[in-house]
């Protein structure tokens, strides 16, 4: 059975890394549902957060093939319930719609969203949450016509108390010392 | 360390010398001319082999790497030069061959502009390289080349490509070279888990019908002696994959032959009777496993492997042992009890008898008038005392040669296994001969594959490489014809060839050649070829519609191996 997995890849900051990583998915015709890349807490090391649907069997192989890339330090995979994750969504609605009645304001308040910017023509609303939540807000707001909408890729943290990568780097250093 | 001011091009050559490169296979062109110019001053230190096509250069580099265990080095120019290398790079990727390819690229300000002979080589080669990198400043050259050699030949080896822009080749800088010995993000081999060794040893000690499968990992890891010690201590029958050929002498009492689609009857069919399978440095390719769901059905699997991504990739391992096979085999040998499996071994010998009667006898000692590939291979093997390096192209002749050529020494088999690249044989033989100048190198090539890289006869002649080329001519793309006969109702769709006069062609290139059409002429002609001091081509006209057996039809289980039609 396929389910959603979050893959976290730590890599050196080298040109072409994104291609090398996505090639592993392309080869197996796996669709990437969401992708976020940014520098990690450790300077010079980049973190990729990739969401795909996979079977438990396949995810191991895919992550193994990602980790095999020379400039990849480490790759982890988790199911959704093993991680705390969020996506951010921005919605642009006509400011006029806001003045006509207070429904939009209520929707925004109830959804735990906030208003980011108001101009004469439009208002930008921001909501952080899971895709189902940002999607639901879209549905609600779209009753008043959403002029523009964008959702980010996922960002995710493990429930571990420590940054796993620093542990990993320590271990790796020790192993590399051992090897002649 | 002292530094000196050099150009990027000079730095390339100096770096290669630091890596003790003695041979470069290549083909020049605009974007790599500065590097060729720098090479001109180092003629005494490093040999450059000018091939007739970049595909020739890359396969030659593979042949060189396979017999020496050192990375093969290749030069090519940008654009078409680089794209011509791709087949060979893909081949090396699948067969874990260490290569360092150095490519010229248009000057960095022109990158991305569709400049003359610009192609995105880093992009094109990404899926088929272990690592690749584009250099745009001379300062990056020594460090990148050092890294390239380290990556290419450590852990599971593979091809590495470096793309160097022309301005980086011209620029000057202070050269300083330091070999690369570690990379933070790359662990070439895992430390061996002693608990897993213990667990495996227990399973092996209690096995009744254990079978060992070994592949090229044994050769790459230079673990031939360790393998022998292990099988001799445990008495476990051992079967090789196509790329494992020559890691154990053919006539070793525990060598039970070849796995795979056209492998031997015993090891294929008995795979499904084994209760324990120990696989060493092999990756359960689909040509070995046949239908995976009915493969090794009764066995616990112990998998010794250097590449973590291979574990559980095809076959679930009950005990994976990650690490270098030389070390893990040694540890395992220390742990296991001395043992014998005579009855079990006898079952392999029993199967051998069946195979001998049904297939081998008539292939090696045919009574019909038409010549067989098998008899040619048998005589050539005997006449070289089983000490030659075997090079094969791809097709029926490859399977026949792999089945019947015998080996006494490791690193004696060069073939394209994973990619199955026709056209590999001739250039690979020339690279193998350069890598092993004191050994006899015999290439068996089909009439189809021969014509894919036939121009390399020119390289062989120019460099006086004494390779012995046996063209097994059945006037067909034999292997495809065999499938058409077996699985497509004999509909021979575009597999028959009208061939040129191969003898005239060889002679035109300045290579001695002879054509054999009857059995009476065969033995003495092979002798003449072997005694000939220089390169030699022997064309042998083979029965047109012979088939290679046994055969595990694709998609069938190894236990459904067919002995005949
Ligand atoms: C580059 C390439 N193209 C196509 C094939 C598919 N193929 C596999 S074997 C074969 C026939 C080879 O014929 P030949 O070289 O005459 O050797 P034979 O099988 O007759 O010994 C072909 C076409 C291949 N392996 N490689």
Q: pLDDT at position B565, please?
A: 80
Question: The domain that contains B30 carries what CATH number?
Answer: 3.40.50.970
Contact status, residue B247 vs residue B224, Cβ threshold 8 Å = yes
* Cα B400 to Cα B480: distance, rounded to the nearest angstrom: 15
CB contact under 8 A, A61 and B313: yes
Containing A37, the helix (H) or strand (E) segment is strand A32-39
Structure tokens at A106: 């209520």
Q: Which of B19, B25, B54, B140 is catalytic?
A: B54
A41 in Cβ contact with A112 (< 8 Å):
no
Do B534 and B466 meet the contact criterion of CB atoms below 8 Å apart? yes
Interface test with B, best of A61, A70, A166, A169 (most B CBs within 10 A): A70
Ligand 1 within 6 A of CB of B422: yes
Q: Are residues B525 and B457 in the same domain?
A: yes
Q: Are residues B329 and B414 in the same domain?
A: no
Q: How many residues does chain B have?
A: 565
Parse chain A into domains and list their residue ranges: 3-84
Extract the tokens encoding B317: 């391992």
Angle at B288 (CA atoms; ends B287, B293), nearest 5 degrees: 95
CA angle B187, B160, B37 (to 5 degrees): 135
Active site residue B399: no
* Residue A54 contacts residue A22 (beta carbons within 8 Å): no
pLDDT digits (tens, 9 = 90+) for A83-129: 999 999 999 999 999 888 889 999 999 999 999 999 999 999 999 99
Q: Are B459 and B92 in contact (CB under 8 A)?
A: no
Domain presence at residue B423: yes
Q: How far from B432 is each of A70, B60, B217, CA to CA, in Å? A: 28, 7, 19
Interface probe, candidates B163, B181, B309, chain A, greatest A C-beta count within 10 A? B309
CB-CB under 8 Å, B313 with A176: no
Alpha helix stretches (DSSP H) within A80-151: 95-100, 103-110, 131-142
Check whether residue B284 and residue B155 sit in a common domain.
no
Averages of pLDDT over runs of 10 residues in chain B (565 residues) are 86 98 98 98 95 98 98 98 98 98 98 96 98 98 98 98 98 97 95 97 98 98 98 98 98 98 98 98 97 96 98 97 98 98 98 98 97 98 98 98 98 98 98 98 98 98 98 98 97 98 98 98 98 98 97 94 91
Is the CB–ligand 1 distance for residue B534 below 6 Å?
no
Cross-strand pairs, A25: none
**CB neighbour list of residue B305: distance below 8 Å, 6 or more residues apart:** B217, B279, B281, B283, B311, B320, B321, B322
Per-residue confidence (pLDDT) for residue A177, from 0 to 100 = 84
Q: What is the pLDDT of residue B428?
A: 98
B429 backbone dihedrals φ, ψ, rounded to 5°? -65, -40
Cβ of B88 less than 6 Å from ligand 1: no
Tell me the CA–centroid distance for residue B448 and ligand 1, in Å. Answer: 6
Please tell me whether residues B131 and B250 are part of one structural domain.
no
Q: Are residues B139 and B95 in the same domain?
A: yes
Q: Do both B474 and B532 map to the same domain?
A: yes
From the alpha carbon of B477, which atom of ligand 1 is closest?
13
- Band of the pLDDT at A136, cuts 50, 70, 90? very high
Residue with tokens 């921001």: A126
Examine the residue annotation and report whether B117 is marked as an active-site residue of this protein: yes
Confirm whether B5 is a catalytic residue: no
- A176 neighbourhood in chain B, CB within 8 Å: 182, 184, 187
Q: What integer pLDDT is reported at residue A167 of this predicted model?
A: 85
Is the CB of residue B90 below 6 angstroms from any atom belonging to ligand 1?
no
Range of the domain at B373: 369-541
Rounded to an integer, the average pLDDT of A141-165 is 91
User: Which residue's CA is the nearest one to ligand 1's atom 3?
Assistant: B422
Nearest Cα to Cα of residue B514 among B459, B524, B398: B524
User: What angle, 0 to 180 degrees and rounded to 10, lies between the N-to-C axes of helices B86-94 and B54-68?
Assistant: 20
Half-sphere exposure of A76 (CA within 13 A, CB side): 17
Counted domains in chain B: 3
Host H or E run for residue B195: helix B194-205
**What values do phi and psi take at B52, rounded to 5?**
-100, -5
In a domain, B424, yes or no: yes
The answer on B400 and B341 residing in a single domain is no
**pLDDT number for residue A180:** 59
Which is it for strands B23-26 and B47-50: parallel, antiparallel or unpaired?
A: parallel
Q: Residue B199: give its domain's CATH number.
A: 3.40.50.1220
Do the domain assignments include residue B180?
no
Of B126, B151, B185, B283, which to mutate for an interface test with A (greatest number of A Cβ within 10 Å)?
A: B185
**Per-residue pLDDT reduced to its tens digit, A10-65:** 999 999 999 999 999 999 999 999 999 999 989 999 999 999 999 999 999 999 99
Q: Which residues of B fall below an 8 Å CB-CB distance to A? A: 122-123, 126-127, 130-132, 134, 151, 182-189, 191, 307-309, 311-313
pLDDT at A163: 73
Q: How far is A154 from chain B (nearest CA, A)?
A: 25
State whether B187 and A172 contact (CB < 8 Å): yes
What ipTM does this complex have? 0.93
- Taking the mean position of all CA atoms in its chain, how far away is CA B4? 40
The Cα of A65 is separated from the nearest Cα of chain B by a number of Å equal to: 6
Maximum pairwise Cα distance, chain A = 74
C-beta of residue A71 within 8 angstroms of C-beta of residue A11 = yes
Question: Would you call B282 a catalytic residue per the annotation?
Answer: no
CATH entry, A3-84, from 1.10.3720.10, 3.30.70.260, 3.50.50.60, 3.65.10.10: 3.30.70.260
Catalytic residue among B166, B326, B327, B440, which? B166
Same domain, B121 and B211: no
Contact B15, B162 (CB under 8 A): no
d(CA B148, CA B129): 11
Residue B547 lies in a domain: no
- pTM assigned to the model: 0.97
The answer to whether the CB of B394 is under 6 A from ligand 1 is: yes
B258, B282, B373, B479: the active-site residue: B479
Helix (H) or strand (E) run with residue A117 in it? strand A114-118
Percentages helix, strand, coil for chain B (3-state, rounded to 5) are 40, 20, 40
**Is B116 one of the catalytic residues?**
yes
Residue B365 CB neighbour total at 10 angstroms: 11
Check CB contact under 8 Å for B126 and A20.
Answer: yes
Nearest CA in chain A to B316: A57
Query: In this structure, is residue B479 part of a structural domain?
Result: yes
Phi, psi of B131 (to 5 degrees): -160, 145
The number of angstroms, rounded, from the C-alpha of A148 to the middle of its chain's C-alpha atoms is 20
Contact state of A27 with B127 under an 8 Å Cβ cutoff: yes
**Residue given tokens 């000690």 in the structure block:** B205
């Amino acid at each position: 059975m396929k389910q959603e997995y979050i893959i976290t890849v730590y890599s050196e900051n080298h040109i072409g890394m994104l291609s090398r990583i996505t090639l592993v998915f392309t080869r197996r015709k796996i669709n990437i549902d969401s992708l976020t890349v940014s520098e990690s807490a450790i300077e010079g090391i980049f973190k990729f957060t990739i969401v795909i649907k996979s079977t438990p069997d396949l995810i191991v192989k895919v992550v193994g093939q990602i980790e095999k890339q020379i400039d990849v330090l480490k790759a982890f995979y988790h199911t959704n319930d093993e991680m705390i994750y969020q996506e951010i969504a921005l919605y642009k609605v006509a400011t006029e719609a806001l003045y006509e009645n207070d429904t939009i304001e209520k929707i925004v308040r109830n959804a735990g969203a906030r208003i980011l910017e108001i101009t004469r023509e439009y208002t930008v609303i921001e909501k952080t949450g899971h895709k189902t939540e940002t999607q639901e807000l879209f549905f609600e707001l779209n009753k008043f016509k959403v002029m523009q909408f964008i959702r980010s890729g996922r960002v995710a943290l493990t429930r571990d108390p420590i940054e796993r990568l620093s542990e990993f780097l320590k271990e790796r250093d020790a192993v590399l010392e051992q090897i002649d | 360390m002292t530094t000196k001011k050099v150009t990027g091009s000079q730095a390339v050559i100096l770096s290669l010398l630091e890596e003790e490169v003695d041979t470069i296979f290549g083909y020049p062109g605009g974007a790599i001319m500065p590097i060729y110019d720098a090479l001109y001053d180092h003629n005494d230190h490093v040999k450059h082999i000018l091939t007739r096509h970049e595909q020739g250069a890359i396969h030659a580099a593979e042949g060189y790497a396979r017999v020496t265990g050192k990375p093969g080095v290749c030069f090519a120019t940008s654009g078409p030069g680089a794209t011509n290398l791709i087949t060979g790079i893909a081949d090396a990727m699948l067969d874990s061959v260490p290569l360092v390819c150095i490519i010229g690229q248009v000057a960095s300000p022109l990158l991305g502009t569709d400049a003359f002979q610009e192609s995105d080589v880093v992009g094109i080669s990404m899926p088929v390289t272990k690592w690749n990198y584009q250099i745009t400043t001379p300062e990056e050259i020594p460090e990148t080349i050092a890294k390239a050699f380290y990556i290419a030949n450590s852990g599971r080896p593979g091809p590495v490509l470096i793309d160097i822009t022309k301005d980086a080749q011209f620029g000057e800088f202070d050269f300083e070279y330091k070999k690369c010995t570690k990379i933070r993000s790359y662990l070439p081999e895992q430390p061996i888990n002693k608990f897993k060794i213990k667990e495996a040893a227990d399973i092996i000690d209690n096995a009744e019908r254990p079978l060992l499968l070994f592949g090229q990992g044994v050769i790459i890891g230079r673990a031939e002696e360790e393998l022998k010690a292990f099988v001799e201590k445990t008495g476990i029958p051992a079967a090789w994959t196509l790329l494992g050929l020559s890691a154990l002498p053919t006539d070793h009492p525990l060598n039970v032959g070849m796995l795979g689609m056209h492998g031997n009857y015993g090891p294929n069919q008995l795979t499904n009777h084994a209760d324990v399978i120990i696989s060493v440095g092999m990756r359960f390719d689909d040509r070995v496993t046949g239908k995976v769901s009915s493969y090794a059905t009764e066995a616990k699997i112990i998998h010794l492997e250097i590449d973590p991504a291979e574990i559980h990739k095809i076959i679930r391992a009950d005990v994976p042992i990650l690490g270098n096979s030389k070390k893990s085999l040694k540890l395992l040998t220390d742990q296991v009890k001395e043992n014998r499996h005579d009855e079990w071994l006898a079952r392999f010998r029993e199967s051998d008898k069946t195979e001998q009667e049904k297939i081998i006898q008539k292939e090696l000692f045919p009574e019909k008038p038409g010549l067989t590939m098998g008899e040619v291979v048998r005589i050539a093997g005997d006449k070289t005392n089983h000490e030659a390096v075997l090079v094969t192209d791809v097709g029926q002749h490859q399977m026949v040669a792999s089945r019947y050529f015998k080996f006494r020494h490791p690193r004696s088999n060069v073939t394209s296994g994973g990619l199955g690249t026709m056209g590999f044989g001739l250039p690979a033989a020339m690279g193998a001969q350069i890598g092993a100048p004191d050994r006899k190198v015999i290439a068996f090539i089909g009439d189809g594959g021969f014509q894919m890289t036939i121009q390399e006869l020119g390289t062989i002649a120019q460099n006086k490489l004494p390779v012995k080329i046996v063209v097994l001519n059945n006037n067909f793309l034999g292997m495809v014809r065999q499938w058409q006969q077996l699985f497509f109702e004999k509909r021979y769709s575009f597999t028959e060839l009208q061939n040129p006069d191969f003898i005239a062609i060889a002679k035109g290139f300045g290579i001695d050649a002879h054509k054999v059409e009857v059995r009476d002429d065969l033995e003495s002609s092979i002798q003449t070829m072997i005694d000939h001091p220089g390169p030699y081509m022997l064309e042998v006209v083979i029965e047109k519609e012979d088939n290679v057996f046994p055969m595990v039809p694709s998609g069938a289980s190894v236990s459904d191996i067919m002995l005949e039609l």
